[in-house]
Amino acid sequence: MTDLQPRSASPAAASRAVVEAAGVTKIFGSGDAAVAALETIDLSIREGEFVSLIGPSGCGKSTLLRLIGDLTAPSAGDVRVNGKPARQARLDRDYGMVFQAPVLMDWRSVARNIELPLEIMGFSREERTRRSAELLRLVELEGFEARHPWQLSGGMQQRVAIARALAFDPKLLLMDEPFGALDEMTRERMNLELMKIWGRTGTTIVFVTHSIPEAVFLSTRVAVMSARPGRITKIVDVDLAQPRTVDTREDRRYFELVTEVRETLRRHEPQGAIEEVEADRIRAEGLG
């Protein structure tokens, strides 16, 4: 089993757990077609942390995020958010979610997209307007409130999605490859902006990515996962100085950590590849 507590004496170690997953297993399908997307995952995320989930496709990193958000239910094990069952936390609106696609409503202006959760949660009109203005400032989109989503670039659309997720001030932000569809330049700029937002709001963030540099740059801890079945193979503590800036990417320690994550991923790759070849052979010979 992996050591899940932060090894360094970070201030986060003293604060309470926001996410606790214990023995979480997720199986898709049943019988012979059953696929274990996740197997006995244990993970604890403390308040104010920024934890990235990284791994090859099919390692269940998005599934794990969706389990935390109660958008899917575990086959076994227990997920708790803010000390409550994940379902209760969702009903209490404890987290904001950002998907890979911005998922903005074309019929709503930028400001009204940000206000969508506030409308559903019954905030007053004045409060909605005040908050959307404040969030537009936070994501640096002042002056765009009356635009419609299709009039914005991909990066701007994703900033609107982040503002919307933060609109109701959730203590937890779940992000599922939010910058995966953006070009490298935009992604790096968005990473810097996300760091600024995280620094100002202090929100706990769980972040799914398949980019190693992105995971290292953003996170306080990186959970490295392997596929078939999905497991957390190692948790890498990122002891880079805060706040992270453009200079962080020039830091020697940054490169060491990138290498460490990459090698952890690679160590678990051949085994997976062999398993896959083996599975193909069995299928080909009609033994499966």
List residues binding other proteins (CB under 8 A).
69, 71, 90-93, 95-97, 99, 101, 103, 105-107, 116-117, 119-121, 148, 150-151
Residue spans of beta strands (DSSP E) within 29-75: 35-46, 50-54
Residue 72 or 129 having the CB closest to other proteins: 72
CB of 71 to other proteins, least distance (A): 5
Residue 105 or 274 having the CB closest to other proteins: 105
Structure tokens at 233: 């193979």
Report the C-alpha gap between 7 and 195 in whole angstroms: 22
Q: Max Cα separation, the chain?
A: 67
214: left (phi over 0), alpha (psi -120 to 50) or beta: alpha
Residue 207 or 217 having the CB closest to other proteins: 207
Residue 96 or 229 having the CB closest to other proteins: 96
8 Å CB contact between 157 and 208: no
Report the C-alpha gap between 78 and 68 in whole angstroms: 10
CB of 75 to other proteins, least distance (A): 19
8 Å CB contact between 118 and 153: no
For residue 262, give the nearest of 228, 227, 215 by alpha carbon: 215
Burial of 241: CB neighbours in 10 Å, binned 0-12, 13-18, 19+:
exposed
Report the C-alpha gap between 34 and 27 in whole angstroms: 6
CB of 68 to other proteins, least distance (A): 11
CB of 135 to other proteins, least distance (A): 16
CB of 3 to other proteins, least distance (A): 31
Residue 15 or 151 having the CB closest to other proteins: 151
Residue 91 or 273 having the CB closest to other proteins: 91
Neighbours of 71 (CB within 10 A): 15
CB of 168 to other proteins, least distance (A): 8
